[in-house]
Structures are given as C-alpha cells and as structure tokens.
Structure 1
Amino acid sequence: MHALCAYIRCIYVALAIVLCHGFFDCVIADQVSAVIPILRWRKNMKILFYCHFPDLLLASRSSRLRSVYRAPLDWIEEQTTGMADQIVVNSEFTGTVFANTFTKLHARKIRPAVLYPAVNIREYDNIPNIPLKARSASTDRLSGIRDCVGGIEGLSSGTQIFLSINRFERKKKLELAIDAFALLVKRHVSPSRSPSRSPLGSRSTSPSPRSAHGGGGGPRNSLGRSSSTPPVNSSGSSSSSSSSGGDGGGGGSVSGGGGGHPAGGTLHSSMSLNSSNLVHPGDGGLGSISRSLANEVSIDRMKLVLAGGYDPRLKENREYLEELRTRAEGLGISERVLFVPSFTAEQKAALLAACIGVIYTPENEHFGIVPLEAMAARRPVIACNSGGPRESIHQASTGFLCDPTPPSFAACMDLLMGSLDRAAIMGASARRHVETSFSRRAFGDQLQAILMQIVGEGGDMTL
C-alpha cells in the first residue's frame, strides 16, 4: 500500500497548491506523476516532472493480488507522466529505460531531458586529500576525526581501507566487494607465513610480500615484479618486464588458491591486471605513474568496510547482513571486513578520510549518488561498467569502470593500493570533475535553462 498512500499524500499537496495558493510560473513534480492532472486545473501553469526511475519497474509483483493492485497504478503512471510540459530524468541510462518502459509516450515522440543530480561539495571540504607520502598516511590523514574512526570497532587511526557505501539490500551486490577483497588478500599475504595460523590474523613477523620473493631482477613490489616495472599503459594494462624468481612473472597477472565459498563453491582467485578486466580504461594522464613509484599500502594495514543504511525491522536487511558476515568468514577474511550499518555523518566523513578508494558494486544503477560523494571527497571510485556510473566516472581518471566480477574489481583495487600517488592524483581529478559537472551550481544552471525553455524568456525563473 506504500504507492497508494504516496499518491494520496501527493494529491493532497497538489490540491492545496491549486486551491489555496497563488499562481506559479512552473511547478516541479518529483517522482509521483499522479499530481499532474490536478495541477493542470490551473491554466497557463507549466509542469516539470522529474522521473528518477519508472515506479512500475521498482514495484514487486510477487503474487497475483499484488499484480492486480499495481495494474491501475501502472496505467495512471504512464498516462499522467505524459501530461507534463517537460520531463527530465537523472541519467541517459534512465532515459533509455524510460523509452523502453513507456512505449506509448515514446511513440508520441516524448523525449525526456537529462538533469543530473548534485552533491553539496562544501560538505566534503574538511576531508583531507590522500597523502602522497605513505608515512603520513598512518598519522596525519585522520587529524581532527581520529576519535570518530576509533569509535568504530576494528578500526584505528593507522588503518587504511577500501570503503563500500550502500544499503544492505541484495540488489546492491555487496558480496562482490567481499569476493574481490578476498582475492586481493590472498595474492598479497606472504606464503611464508606460518601455516598453523590464519594469514589474515594479527600482524606477522614473517617477511612482508615485498621481501618474501626470491630471485633476481632487483627489488620487488607486492605483485612480485621488479621495481623497474613499466607504467600502466594507455589501455589500462600493466606492461610487465621479464624477471626471474618470485611468483609475479610476466604478463601482469596473479593467481592464488581458491578460498572456501559459503555457497559451497570455490571462489576463483585469478586476478589479471590487463585490459581484459578493464573496460575502455584510457590512462587519464596517469600513464607516467608506475607501481614502482608506489608509496604502497601494506596488506596488513588494509581492511574492507561495508557501511550503509540498515533497518533492523526489515527482514531483507537482517538476512543479507548475516549472509555477508557468513561469506566473509567462509573466505577467511572476517577479521579484515568490517560492517558499519546505519553510520552517522561524522563516521561517514571519517571513513571517507581513511579510505584510498570507494567500491560501488550495484549493476545498472539508475544514477548513483555515492560515486559523486566519494569524488567530492577526493576519493577515486571503482564501479560496475553499467548504468549511471558510466556517465559520472571518467575511466582511469576519476575512477575505474569494471566488469561485475571479483577479478576485475580486485585488479583495480590493487592498482590503488599499489600507489597512493595514483590514488591521490585520481582523487584530485575526481574533485575537479564533480565541481564542474555535479555541484549544486551546475545543477542550478541546468535546471534554470530547462525552466526558461518551458516558460519562455518572459518568465522570472531566477534560482
């Protein structure tokens, strides 16, 4: 009954506007199109409708009764949406879905404009840049918000993280972040650690991955390649030099043993750092930065944090959170994966400051506000190469667009972990990108231009 109740509330507001208030040049209706016929009672008042996503595609039809309940609402949605003077959507992706869903409107040549959402970039001004010196990363970067990080169980001011921000819902595919992080850990944890104890436990005194590789070829980084490894090239692949000893070898690919999978299978742990896992990367001006310039982050200091909206009253939220915990345990990384449901604004800022990259796992997301928030905080984003992120993330410049597979995500996580320089430069580029295209000023300018087209130059539409 949520949709019906929302219709009733919005219709009440529309009636109040028509009957109790003066004339408006234009009224903006958001998401619920059922109000448009009522607003039409006022002659010469223009209507702009903002469609975030067709509601009929979001509704459940798990039973015949629900299908019967939704049928009139779906019909109303399409009929009333077409009555607006102008329709805008939040992304080109949503525009395509709109055309495929409302086929009658598309046949009438109704084409929505795109009005991208915005973030308040000033909210992220106090989050420090990713430091270019690894030494400063453990102490200086959380200055002023260290207490907030310390208040999250399992984190300290010296911890560096990959951060996922999303609601605890199955459609967000948070297990992808866990599986990718498991591949990253398996590759970087030194095989010389004692087999009698978990390699994911407390910091070991055995050699680090950097020093554990034998053979020649000079000093070796955590991928087992020599420090003379060439930079990431313009196709996003890592050009590897031949080297003897170690397990890095040539070709820029790494692999390890499979971990236990909660579903009873085995997590495929091959992780390739070549263009087969990255989609249209481009070097975004980063080609001059090689992994040997690293400022690498030790895997011992890295954790994955899954934070986001959580309502204990919702069965799916409770079940999915438990499924994710079980998955991390089954992969042997439960001590490295932290869950922060329903975090505060202060905790969110602290987590963004502690992270070297934000992991965004939903596929075919309508737009996705989290990548904008991450980029406003000067953090690169790793996301699926589908939906809204294709329009907000510049490949290999402000983040990475990947296939929705653990090896693809893990490869990009490894690039950021291997060089804080790379992460910092991408983060700075991300901030500039958001300021230019997704700030409130940019949103206001786009909205005003659309409104002026609706009401004509004679209207006063100053925002």
Structure 2
Amino acid sequence: MSLKKNVAIIHPDLGIGGAEQLIVNIALALQMSGYEVTIFTPRHEKERSFKPTHDGTLNVQVKGSIFPSSIFGKCTALCSMIRMFLASLYVILFGGEYDFIIIDQVSAILPIFYLSSSKVIFYCHFPDQLLCTQRQSSIKRLYRFFIDKVEEIGLWKPDLIYVNSNFTLSITKSTFKSLASINLHILYPCIDLNFISNAPYPQFFENSKYFFSLNRYERKKNINLAIEAYSSLKDKSVKLLIGGGYDPKMQENVEHYAELCELCKKLELKYVEVDNWDKPIKNFDVYFVRNLSEIQREQALQNALGVLYTPENEHFGIVPVESMARGTPVIAINSGGPMESVKNELSGFLLDKDPKKWGEKMMMLSEDNEKRTKVGAYAKEWALKEFSLSSMSSKLNEDFQKLLKP
C-alpha cells in the first residue's frame, strides 16, 4: 500500500503566538516526511506571522474571512466558530482531496467533517470553556452554555485527538466526562532547530545585560510578575525586555499594554517602547517591543541572561523550550506545561509567583556566570533531545500511517 501524503490544516488566526508556532512546526514536520501540506485560515497577515507562512515555505490560503471576527467587540468565540466553519466547508467542497485534515483549537466545527472521507485529527491546546471565566450576565451564561456543549460534542468526531501536555490531558479528561473512553495522545510542541546561531546583541541595549519576557500582551500571561520581579533587583544596570504579539484590533492587547506602562510608573521604573532596534536607547529600565521580527526574537532569546516565563497553569508554553534550545536559562511558574518542559534547577528554575523569589533567581543569574553557563548548557542538550522538529516529524508520520490501517 502506498503512503498517502496530502494534509490540510485549518487554524483560526495564523498570527505569531505559541499556538501558531505549533501549527507552523506541525506543517514543517509533515513536509519533512514528504507530506503535501496546505494551511487554511480565516486570518493571515504578513506583518504578524511567522516567516515560513509568507516566504513560500508553506502554502497558506485565507478562507472564511468574509465573516467578522467579532460583533461590536463581542461574541469572539462564536465568530471564530463561524469563520472556522466557513473555512472547513471550503476545504470539504472546494479545497481538493485530502487524506488527513488537522483542525486546531475549535472543536465545535468538527461534526461537519462527517461529510468528508478524510481522516480527521484535532489538536487540543486546552478546553475553551475553561478559558472563559467572565460569565456574570444570564445572556453570557446562556451563550456560553451553547458554546460549551458544542465544544464537547465536536470532540466525538476526530479519528485522533492530540493534546500538548500531560497537564492538558488530565484537565481535558476531567472537563469532558464523555471522553472517558477516548484515548488522547500527547504531542509536545517542538521547535525548528534551523535558527541562526551567535545572533548579534540587540544594538539598542549597547551591551547592557538584560532579562527577556516573551508573551502576547494579554492579562492571563501575567507579565506583571516579570516587572514586579525586576523592580526588586538592586542592580538596575541589568535591564528588562518585554516583547510579544500585539494586535491593535484586540481591545485587551491595547488595554493591557497601557496597564503594564502604568505598573512601571507605579514602581518608579523608567520605560520606553523600542521603535528602532538598531539605535542605542539609554537610561531606561524596561523596554517594550511589540510584534518582534524573527531576527529580533532570535537576538533577544540568545543574548538574554534568562527568559522570564510568567503565565500560570499554561497548557504547555513553547517559549521555555525555545529559550532552552538556545542555551538560555528559564525562570517559570511551577504549574502547567513548564513542569514537564523545564528540568528544575537543571535547565531552569520553577518558582511560585512570588516576585521576590523571582528577583533572587534573577540576581543569581546576573552575578554567577559559572552557574548560568552550566544551566544553559544542560538546557540546550535537554531541549534538542526532547523537542526537535525531527522527533515530531517521526511521531506524526507513525500516527498518521496507523490511521490508514484497516
């Protein structure tokens, strides 16, 4: 029997977050094994996307964008479902012949694939209903009751369900009781190891030592902790760089960025938005960057004293893995995915969310070069062994071929 090789991936918004990085790497991993891959998404913009999605490496098609992403800033989950439904309908009716279809994040649209003969794979980052905690009004509760139910019903359809960690597996099983008899498979996010080594130092720092926080500008990412921890450092010759995805169309991104600036003022930290990466910017403590380019991201990761990963109960978190692969130690909260990806006291440090404890570890990394080098070396070895693109490629190919067996 000849191996079948055609794969469609459907993702709600192909931006520059961790979920998007995962989808890009899944596509690259499948291409490594000889699969023909097409990514369908309702939203993809060159200025806020990973390079392989716009340089010709990956085939990306925008479908489903005819429907808005929100209705007067509301109903984003419902709008995402409808946009994904339209993209999926296009794939089924007009997209061509696919042997495997991977759906990311939005399980509610999975029943439509009863119309397709393709093998259907769903990647679950975390139950969506647990991400929506604001349900004060009766209308919102009724709206979310519908969304939550179709989310669970959709999960009955896939031929294979991946989750990103043991943590997510346990939460998913406990949330969706009807999945008790369904096997969930762990597919850890991976990283592409073809990055530029020895990336130059960010020129705007003029060789100042710094710590790096990399997250989207969202409240759940707990970036406040990085700023509060930094404020406890006595040596302000060490700087803090905060970077990540920022979408001016997302109200929370705009609001939270302003909140972080206000926090800096409250803590009497001098802050600045970096508008020219290559021009020295002196006499500031906290440096904000929005939507880093891949070159900027690489420079920041490779040259930092350490990466501060602040989300609590993060489903997996690709940033610690990216950091470790470059030999940069990680400080992360001791919950969720980082408890599986970071080897405590070996490749990084897992702490509770006490800013003073974080500040102490930051001080140690800034002063003890020998310890920092030792932790960085172990981190690199660990990450390259456990989270490479080639290991993901092998697992995906093995699992996909099993699906084809009668």
Residue 235 of structure 2 is aligned to residue 302 of structure 1? no
Give the partner amino acid of 1:356.
L
Q: Distance in 1 between matches of 2:183 and 2:267?
A: 47
Deviation at 1:384, TM superposition (A): 0.3
Q: Which amino acid aligns with 1:127?
A: N
Paired positions, count:
318
Which of residues 233, 243, 253 is equivalent to 1:184?
A: 233
Q: How many Å separate the matches in 2 of 1:401 and 1:4?
A: 36
Q: 1:114 corresponds to which residue? A: 186
Summarize the Cα distance change of 1:355–1:451 in structure 2 as closer, same or farther, 3 Å threshold.
Answer: same
**Deviations, residues 417-438 of structure 1 (Å, cap 9, x unaligned):** 1222222222222222222111
Identity of aligned residues (%): 38
Q: Is the 8 A contact 2:325 2:379 kept in 1?
A: yes
Aligned-pair distance for 1:22? Answer: 6.1
The C-alpha deviation readout for 1:138-187, integer Å capped at 9, x for no partner, is xxxxxxx35xx23x4xx21x2110111112222111121122222222xx
Counterpart of 1:363 in 2: which secondary structure?
A: coil
1:167 aligns with 2:238: no
The answer for the alignment partner of 2:197 in structure 1 is: 126
Tell me if the contact between 1:356 and 1:420 (Cα under 8 Å) persists in the aligned partners.
no
User: Which residue identity is paired with 2:253?
Assistant: N
2:143 partner amino acid: Y
Tell me the TM-score normalized by structure 2: 0.72
Indicate conservation of the 8 Å contact 1:26/1:455, yes or no: no
Q: Secondary structure at the match of 1:413?
A: helix
Out of 407, 428, 450, the position equivalent to 2:399 is 450
Q: Match of 2:131?
A: 58
Structure 1 46/352 Cα, relative in aligned 2: closer, same or farther at 3 Å? closer
The one-character-per-residue Cα deviations of 1:388-415 (angstroms, maximum 9, x if unpaired) are 1111111112111111111221222122
Tell me if structure 1 keeps the 8 A contact 2:302–2:327: no
Deviation per CA, 1:331-388: give whole Å up to 9, x if none.
3333322222333333222222331100011100111111122112221100000011
- Could you tell me which residue of structure 2 aligns to residue 439 of structure 1? 388
Q: CA deviation at 1:313?
A: 4.3
Selected match of 1:324 from 244, 257, 260: 260
Instruction: Confirm whether residue 72 of structure 1 aligns to residue 21 of structure 2.
Output: no
Q: So what's the TM-score if we normalise by structure 1?
A: 0.64
Measure how far apart 1:117 and its partner are.
0.9
**Structure 1 unaligned regions, length at least 5:** 129-144, 186-298, 459-463
SS of corresponding position for 1:40: helix
RMSD in angstroms over aligned alpha carbons?
Answer: 2.3
Partner of 2:211, secondary structure, is strand
User: How far off is 1:70 after superposition?
Assistant: 2.5
Q: Deviations over 1:209-247 (max 9, x none)?
A: xxxxxxxxxxxxxxxxxxxxxxxxxxxxxxxxxxxxxxx
Distance 1:317 1:80, change over 3 A: closer
> CA distance change for structure 1 residues 12 and 403 in 2, over 3 Å: closer, same or farther?
same
Greater Cα shift, 310-319 or 383-392: 310-319
C-alpha contact (below 8 Å) 1:357/1:416 kept by paired residues: yes
- Structure 1 letter corresponding to 2:194: R
2:241–2:287 CA contact under 8 A, matched in 1: yes
Question: What secondary structure sits across from 1:163 in the alignment?
Answer: strand
Amino acid at match of 2:210: I
* Structure 2, gaps ≥5 residues long: 1-74, 271-283
- Structure number with larger C-alpha Rg: 1
* Bigger helix share: 2
The verdict on how the C-alpha distance between 1:400 and 1:63 changes in structure 2, with shifts beyond 3 A counting, is same
